[in-house]
Structure 1
Amino acid sequence: MNTILSSICFLWVTFSIAQVQEEVLPPNYIKSIIFKGNGNVSGNPVLQLGESISLEFDDIIGDEANYYYKIEHFNYDWTPSELKKSEYLNGFDNVRISNYNNSYNTLQGYTHYNLTFPNKDTKSLKLSGNYMLKILNENEELVFSRKFMVYKPIAQVKLDIKRSRDLKYINSRQVVNFSINSPDFLIRNPESTIKVIITKNHNLKSAIHNITPQYTIGNELIYKYDQETSFLAGNEYLQFDSKDIRSTTLDIGRIELNELYNHFLFADRSRATEPYTYNPDINGQFVIRTLQGENPSIEAEYVWTHFKLQNYDPLDGGELHLFGAFNNFELDETTLMKYNKTSGIYENTLLIKQGFYNYKYVLLNKDGSLDEGFISGNFDVTENEYQVLVYFRDLGARYDQIIGFGNASSLNISN
């Protein structure tokens, strides 16, 4: 009997874990994914219920392939919700993306796809919560997927960015203090019905979860933790601008033209032990643009961009990777910096569409943890954007709704 019970428990746990949905990375022929709401932030957008959302991407095979999209609703922990599609979607999905154009006057041919909803097929989302947009090919195979969040502004979320109260981290960490106020909405048992997600620079992969309120004042929930809601501050992102494909810049040292253009960036070096220097960035984002055409979506070139990094610190079995929103902050074989024994420099080459890009180098430790400041350093005065999403699930409810969203910059950080 104990053996049977143990087997059932094991299967149940395995099934529960298997249900958690992760984003699927695009294949190497899908490039320049821009997924955003009404703002300029690409990646995992947060939008208010009723706002529009758009997806753009390129297929560099350029054969006008057919792609379809699906929208699915998820719980706080990214397990599928119990809702039927008709309960959260007004209209229907599994529709072909019909808005696409071939590149014009470019060395690398590609087909550019554009999807916006609401549209005539997908009229609106009915409910707030976690969603995933899935792109499939004509064989109904999943090509890639992206998460996004929809909130209904019921509760007010106020953020304050502080330095750590722990003297060990006062110069390297930023702490997110916040409060949730719902004067017109009664929150019962907030310790069990309210959940939050805290993100830095719209990166879900480094988010902080499962923080309970410290105390309440009337209808206001107060979160004034220190270490529990702190992030290593990092440093400002590095950048390059390839909008003029034929000209070198302060960041691009050399240009070659073979079958495609090649841009060789100046070698970067570790900034971890150097003094902090304020250099305004766009917090890891990128913008497609070109001086050689009027419509960057279809007239921007693809460029082989060569990255170089001087690093003399031991990695202890870890790996150095490129990091930024250009691939949704994912680390894989394409972002790996490889050591060149001849030059003594870490190198990587990526095929990137013309534009302005933020990037940095991070260390992926052999235990799977990420050290964002290994090369860049961590400085408490770094400008970062922080977001807080508030989830609510009443007793007996069948899904997690998002009732509040707040954001703030660390530009005016205080003690």
Structure 2
Amino acid sequence: MTFKPFLLFAFVLIPTVLFSQIDEVNPPDYIKTINFRGDTPETQLPILKLGEYVVLEFDALNGDEEDFYYKIEHFNYDWSPSVLIKSEYMEGFDNQRIRDYENSFNTYQIYSHYRLTIPNQFTKGLRVSGNYMLSVYDNDGELVFSRKFMIYEDKTDVGVNIKRSRDVQFIEEKQRVDIVISSKNMQFNNPLQTVKVVIVQNNNLNTAISNLKPQYTIGNQLIYKYDTETSFWGGNEYFYFENKDVRAANTGIQSIDLKDLYHNYLFTNIERANNPYTYNPDINGNYVILNLDAENPSIEADYVWIHFSLKASEALKDKSIHVYGNFNNYAIDDSTKLQYNSQYNIFQNAMLLKQGFYNYKFVVLNKDGLIDEGFIGGNYYQTENNYKVLVYYRDLGARFDKIIGIGEGNSVNISN
């Protein structure tokens, strides 16, 4: 009888916590090429050191030069809202208009290119590390889209090694991440409760592994040598195309056509799940905006209809197949779905993308809502993947989760 009140409290609490978690909001059709990055031209999952700047860029294709505003919020490790008030995590203020924008130049598709840099004259800096969400609103106060980013402090060394799976059943298909966290000048208090780790494969938060606890503590080191808990499907190398010269057939492009806009038709891809692994250099799902004849690709790169195609087989004809990559933040929706063309026995999709170099792959969306990345491309332990490890820490009595270190590893040198 004494346990009933506790059990009732637990059942009431758990749904509240789950439903309070925040997901990113994807943009409407007229917002394209959301590029969230630090000091590199390649779009990336923005994980920045405390004090560094971050750049958000996007295009509005409606030609209205409308006003957009931004807000920044701080979140806990599990993306539930933080209890910190704005002045505790931000120097200055947000809810400001994005003033830096330019109209496209010498392009068939008219668009306005917006750029937000933080810190700026209004938002002078972020005071603490942790999870953040940047949300963009229109002139009516309606949310247009939101993107996550992370700020870390360099207080720990994070060693990351990529190994083959110990499970014989998946030894040819999975990659395992071993982690060693070494404290520099801080003492871990009760690390089983205060330290949490997140592993991100190829900058894709949708497949991240979280809520990992250290297996061993040796001096000032925390050791993670799990098997199944830190294993990812290896996947396969991404397909890619490049159309930096919109008037010529570049890498991966079979033919071009000019209608209202340029159309680029990619070579038809095939299933690779049952083929031997073949190394094919990629940039792990990312993209870079490029234009061969432009000084400023941000406003001089044009928008092109990219026509994807995948050769159909009997195993695919009843599947929901989507184009997948960081070009739209790994989102799955109606715009990414391929339609079956019975005349040519292929699946097809056309997407409006800005000129550049793009990685993509085809994935299957199962009826249970889960994404199967390996159904078409296969899973291979040899696949070159990038892994980032984020270390969160909330000391006893603290009010928010810090990120106290980041580590990075690559499976190019995978070992047993």
Structure 2 length-normalised TM: 0.96
Q: How does 1:274-289 map to 2 (within 5 A)?
A: 274-289=275-290
Q: CA deviation at 1:183?
A: 3.8
Q: How does 1:238-277 map to 2 (within 5 A)?
A: 238-277=239-278
Q: Distance in 2 between matches of 1:9 and 1:220?
A: 33
Q: CA deviation at 1:313?
A: 4.4
Q: Distance in 2 between matches of 1:82 and 1:53?
A: 24
The answer (yes or no) to whether the contact 1:252–1:266 under 8 Å persists in 2 is yes
Distance 1:260 1:307, change over 3 A: same
Q: CA deviation at 1:310?
A: 0.8
Q: Distance in 2 between matches of 1:64 and 1:116?
A: 19
Aligned sequence identity (%): 54
Q: Compare 14-23 and 218-227 and name the one that shifted more.
A: 14-23
Give per-residue Cα distances to partners, 1:259-296, cap 9 Å, x unaligned.
10111111100011112111111001111111232211
DSSP 3-state at the match of 2:17? helix
Q: Distance in 2 between matches of 1:33 and 1:180?
A: 33
CA RMSD of aligned residues (A): 1.8
Q: Distance in 2 between matches of 1:79 and 1:205?
A: 16
Q: How does 1:12-411 map to 2 (within 5 A)?
A: 13-315=14-316, 318-411=319-412
Q: CA deviation at 1:44?
A: 3.0
Q: Distance in 1 between matches of 2:187 and 2:361?
A: 44
Q: Compare 294-303 and 9-18 and name the one that shifted more.
A: 9-18
Q: Distance in 1 between matches of 2:413 and 2:11?
A: 49
DSSP 3-state at the match of 2:331? coil
Give per-residue Cα distances to partners, 1:289-317, cap 9 Å, x unaligned.
11232211111111011000013142596
Q: Which amino acid aligns with 2:58?
A: F
Q: Which amino acid aligns with 1:220?
A: Q
The answer (yes or no) to whether the contact 2:267–2:309 under 8 Å persists in 1 is yes
Instruction: Point out where structure 2 has 5 or more consecutive residues left out of the alignment.
Output: none
DSSP 3-state at the match of 1:263? strand
Q: Distance in 2 between matches of 1:16 and 1:384?
A: 32
Q: Distance in 2 between matches of 1:226 and 1:171?
A: 14
DSSP 3-state at the match of 2:283? coil
Q: Which amino acid aligns with 1:261?
A: Y
Q: Distance in 1 between matches of 2:90 and 2:311?
A: 51
Distance 1:11 1:187, change over 3 A: closer
Q: CA deviation at 1:249?
A: 2.9
Aligned equivalent of 1:413: 414
Q: Distance in 1 between matches of 2:113 and 2:289?
A: 13
Q: Distance in 2 between matches of 1:334 and 1:349?
A: 8
The answer (yes or no) to whether the contact 2:323–2:362 under 8 Å persists in 1 is yes
Q: CA deviation at 1:26?
A: 0.3
The answer (yes or no) to whether the contact 1:318–1:366 under 8 Å persists in 2 is no
The answer (yes or no) to whether the contact 2:155–2:184 under 8 Å persists in 1 is no
Q: Distance in 2 between matches of 1:249 and 1:37?
A: 28
The answer (yes or no) to whether the contact 2:242–2:251 under 8 Å persists in 1 is no
DSSP 3-state at the match of 1:268? coil
Q: CA deviation at 1:41?
A: 4.8
The answer (yes or no) to whether the contact 2:317–2:340 under 8 Å persists in 1 is no
Give per-residue Cα distances to partners, 1:361-386, cap 9 Å, x unaligned.
01111111111111111111111100
Q: Which amino acid aligns with 2:205?
A: L
Q: Which amino acid aligns with 2:411?
A: S
Q: Which amino acid aligns with 2:171?
A: I
Q: Compare 182-191 and 352-361 and name the one that shifted more.
A: 182-191
Q: Distance in 1 between matches of 2:353 and 2:28?
A: 14
The answer (yes or no) to whether the contact 1:20–1:80 under 8 Å persists in 2 is yes
DSSP 3-state at the match of 1:133? strand
Structure 1 length-normalised TM: 0.96
Q: CA deviation at 1:336?
A: 0.6
Instruction: Point out where structure 1 has 5 or more consecutive residues left out of the alignment.
Output: none
Q: Distance in 2 between matches of 1:311 and 1:389?
A: 40
Q: Which amino acid aligns with 1:314?
A: A
Q: CA deviation at 1:397?
A: 1.1
DSSP 3-state at the match of 2:347? strand
Q: Distance in 2 between matches of 1:317 and 1:80?
A: 40
The answer (yes or no) to whether the contact 2:71–2:95 under 8 Å persists in 1 is yes
Q: Distance in 1 between matches of 2:297 and 2:252?
A: 21
Q: Which amino acid aligns with 1:131?
A: Y
Q: Distance in 1 between matches of 2:293 and 2:224?
A: 50
